[in-house]
Chains A and B, each alone.
Chain A
Amino acid sequence: MAEIRLKSLAHSYKSKPTSPDDYAIREMNHVWHQGGAYALLGPSGCGKSTLLNIISGLLSPSNGDVLFDGKKVNDIPPEERNIAQVFQFPVVYDSMTVFDNLAFPLRNMKISEDKVHSRVIEIAAVLELSDLLKNKAKNLTADEKQKVSMGRGLVRSDVSAILFDEPLTVIDPHLKWKLRRKLKQIHEQFNITMVYVTHDQLEASTFADKIAVMYGGQIVQFGTPRELFEKPNHAFVGYFIGSPGMNLIEVKKTQGGLKFNNTLVSLNPEMQIALDQVSTSNIKIGIRPEFVHVWDDKAEGAFECDVLHTEDLGTYKIITMKLDGEVLKVRIHEDRAVPTKKAYISFPEQWLKVYVDEYLVDIEEPEDEAKETV
């Protein structure tokens, strides 16, 4: 059983990092609770695999500590950390049978052969590999191989966390959902902490209870899929999550609100007060395409836009509009009439987010969950 805690953790691949850009992982504090199903979501090169390898011990961090159940494990090699890791490309021992593959970690631990046998049979049944036990691992399909690599983690009774590094990359689309469901099922059955690295938001949100979004070597938000969608804590989360991502427009502070080109977006008083203390010029407003309100006709306070084009995606449509020189995406239900040439839109106050230096200006009651510290 393990709770994984990262304390002031940072990592650089350079021996003498000078600027923050030299860090693959910038200083972070984070907790993965025992038994949770987590996803680590982010674009390529954001440091998610680095973070995973630090947790498993394949990499040792330049700064800070990794704690398992409060115990520092920095100096403990991966083989003694009670974790299993499943890699992007399935790792099987080609020359062995499926049975021997699954038995391999147990035999390396010098466990008696009859115990090995019963454990392998048990895990093979869970993974639906029972019929393949006598086959050579080399001849398996990619998804079966990936199940075998996962199985090597599950057979060990000492494993308390499994780390997945984009495990479905090489799996055929029609088998992906099957394997993902299997993962979920195993998670419920075994009470194991699972951390799942992916760059696919759909994969992350179907697998995980909570998602950590990584960007530029930092976890910029940790929350449920819904929180990430409705209240992105960082402009990147808004842009990265959702299809299409959040509309983000650079704005300037002005009397009575925020302004871009000749368009003034008015704000509520609390937001106005919050922004008064801000000195930076990096301010953006963000609104999800789903939350842009489209009026049927000219309406008071609505902005007039030019409709550029419309994509019909079956159950919904995406309209691309131009508002005072800025391009916006708007998502409407399939039954709604699509405005031609001109459209009138407004930004409902509760869905209009303001980002200062990329971070959300949060004027509601702060929710501590999102920024859990050690």
Chain B
Amino acid sequence: MKGAVFAVLTSKKRRNSGCVESLGHYGALFCVPFVAVFLIFSVYPVVRTLTMSFTNYKGYGASDFVMFDNYTRAITDPLFWDAFVNTLKMWGLNIVLQLGLALLLTIVFNDIKYRMKGLSIFRAMFYLPNLIACTSVAFLFKTLLDWQYGSVNQILLSLHIISQPINWLGGEGWTAQAVVGVIGAWMWFGNSFIMLMAGVQGISHDYYEAATIDGAGRWTIFARITMPLLRPIMMYVAITSLIGGLQLFDIPYLISGTKGTPGRSLYTAVFYLFNMAFTNRQMGYAAAIAFVLFAIIAVCSFIAFRLMNKKED
């Protein structure tokens, strides 16, 4: 099809000028929409945020250039670092559960002995939470985990697992953080599962057959063949999760009713940035926080890539 289109274009061009090479400007023209959108919606906001981070801009009116004051303030801001630690706690639980569950399911679905059926159905089911809007997910869990009338406490009480209802989202801060971690894992484990399945299916069956002939057990095969060959995919999932996880905002924001409560436990770094920009109207400082976060994510990603390459070597 592409060839046919090209042929038409070239034949027309030949008729007009007889010069095929001059068609190159069509390529440039085709790129214009993307480049224009990219410059307006990606490059300009980044450059604008960077310049804003060196000012005391409030979101309106004039502003003064303040050099690196906003960056110094961000680095010494205890509330920002509290929020950052909260983010790490929630992401930490999320990634352990997400990868653990995805790996477990990958092992089950690839087990030669069990030969599980209905993979495509399960894959779709596992991926489904990822397709639900965050607002719906937050509302769903808020309703299920309501400490007085939520289904989770009702079930636990009726099964005599607990004697008093647990205030999941309003009591101790760590329960709310754990809930956010679990929600993240529930939403994303399907995605990781698909990645890991693709990774496992890319491993040659020759290795497994050879290992089986040599008398290796299932655990040995998993530990010595599957895991090492799956490591790059797992690192990829972990890094993309880290990049997304450090930008955690929507679920804590919605589940805490936009307040970051109980205490400040659901305040994440991006939540803090958002409040600084749109509640406290300190756009310059919020922009600096954004770049500090960018630097942290870039460093973490660099370290992770180096580690991954080292293992591969």
Pair from one complex: no
Residues of chain A at the chain B interface (Cβ within 8 Å): none
